[in-house]
Structure 1
Amino acid sequence: MRKEELQQLPPERFERITLDSSNAERITKPSLSFWQDAWLRLRKNKAAIVSMFVLVLLIIMALIGPHLNGHDGEQQVLRHANLPPKIPGIEKLGIFNGMGQLGGEKVNLYEIKKVDEYYWFGTDGLGRDLFTRVWEGTQISLLIAFVAAAIDVVIGVLYGGISGYFGGRVDDIMQRIVEILIGIPTLIIVILMLLIMEPGLTAIIIAISLTGWIGMSRIVRAQILKYKGQEFVLAARTLGASDSRIIGKHLLPNIMGIIIINTMFTIPTAIFFEAFLSFIGLGLQPPDASLGTLINDAYKVMEHQPYFLLFPAVIISVLMIAFNLIGDGLRDALDPKMKD
């Protein structure tokens, strides 16, 4: 019965489907470049994305922060010395309301000293506004870190690229030089440089850059040795491509991800090293401020004025964490082996 019903179906119930052979192998999804694919994977890393927003916010505050409250970071007003933080609006919540310790009692130091102004982060022992000085110090620390990292990238990529690409005796000589530099403690080199040069911004950048490029050069050399013997490089050399074209068009694009990742880890190292030098008195000299000098000044009065140490310590900690999380995210996004 069922077979008879099927045979009785009219021909118009059927529709012939034809396929266009020209569209049979068409890719419906748009193709992505390496960097577009890496960005899509990076966006899945919420910690890295949040760190990017935090880092951008800190950079913006470092640029505009010193101009927000109308106080000069170097102006000394001794009558306003050692004032605790006081922020308009927030003071009504019972925090950052200008209350401090005086003679073992908690009192409003702004009323006692008859100060009508607001100091959002308080003042130091010379009456200088800490809010302005903290963001000026952040600006200096970021400048030192970015310039030192840029110098490390340029020197490290050139040195490691030349050493790995040409190999042979050139590589042997250049690597012996690197081994000698590695054997000398970095702190000794930095101290000698700062003794020769006048302490300041330029001296710190040069001191940090003297040996900071070594790690980058060794990574670049290893990657060049890995890629220079592969087929696409041999094909380019067979077709008559010059050494500079092979390095610039074939080798560097393949190791650019490793360079970016290593740079993101170099920047927080430079920030921490600058803070360390300033903390031990070998960095910037007064009245210039960096996060390291602010922490050094705050360390001396930490017991009685903890707010002095709180703000620069929090900012340098957030910077270190943000750069490291972004570096981890970039490492996962740019490493083809981490594809999900």
Structure 2
Amino acid sequence: MTNGATASGPSTNAIHAGYEPDSLYGPINTPIYASTTFAQDGLAKLRGGYEYTRVGNPTITALEKTVAGLEGSEYAVAFSSGMAAVDTVLRILLKPGDHIVISSDAYGGTYRLIQQIFTQWGVENTVVNMTDPQEVAAAVQPNTKVIWVETPTNPLLDIVDVAAIAAIKGGATLVVDNTFASPYLQQPFTLGADVVLHSTTKYIGGHSDVIGGVVCGNDPEFEEHLRFFFGWVGAVPSPFDAYFTARGLKTLPVRMERHCDNAEAVAEFLSGQDAVARVCYPGLPTHPGHDIAKKQMRRFGGMVSVLMQTEEQAKALCMNTKLFCLAESLGGVESLIEHPATMTHLAVVGSALEVPRELVRISVGIEDEADLIADLEQALARL
């Protein structure tokens, strides 16, 4: 199975799409091609299509094909980080005088890049409530080139109706950051997305040990642009990073099932606590985006956010847990907890993307459910 998209199921694709044991030694796992350069069979005659790792490497290619197989796209291009992927997509799609529509609950790093760098180049942006397609439609201008969607959003876990946004995007490119859902839970191309990207640091890698990003698409011209930036700008993953990401990807489906099981249990437990004002989890029937999430997601994900009654309670909860580690990032096998207003989203304080100070974001891992609930129970008891 060496092509990008295949007709097999997600668990089969996660393990097999993108790589077959080679005919020389037959390794089951993709070898780490730790070589900067490759021997050529003649002048401009590349052996297997590889010349220099900055423009292509077999280990990186295998990872790209596996991700493409899971997303159902024609290709995927790997980058050294999620932000390198974001920056590359924005640089390809935007030029001075263009306009981008972005969610009021978007990843802070993406907004910071747009606001602090791209505005200096003359790119305009409008922040909207992306859960309201009419508000998105009203924000679209003649010079709108990109509509940037995250769903579920970070950190409030709002759900955006991708198909509804695709129906009103006009000539703009619809980009979906699919990091929180992963390609196992959601496939935005089937909903009308033009470009899909991930921070592979999160669920795709899944073990909090490697940083990376990937951009998926179906337009050959866009792929040419991606490959240009991949090689000539040089934001490439190392073969070692690609290997670790691909190794994590093999267990994505089984990990996501356990993440979802545990997150559902955590969300239900927290919903009944007096100190909790609101639980933000799309799997709860009370969530405003629950019906849309049911329609466009396989399950509801491993992220749970909660609004405590006070900021002091939010900070205390983060400090009181023992099994949930106080740390940034998400999507690893271990459970993490954080206070976005003073951690991951500190940079957007005072902006249109400022998050509530009583908010706690939880990345629910794959530990035993009873242990996770017990830890939250003892932490809440100490508020």
Give the structure with the larger helix fraction.
Answer: 1
Q: Which of the two has higher C-alpha Rg?
A: 1
Give the structure with the larger strand fraction.
Answer: 2
TM-score of the aligned structures, taking structure 2 as reference length: 0.22
TM-score of the aligned structures, taking structure 1 as reference length: 0.24
* Greater relative contact order structure (CA < 8 Å, 6+ sep): 1
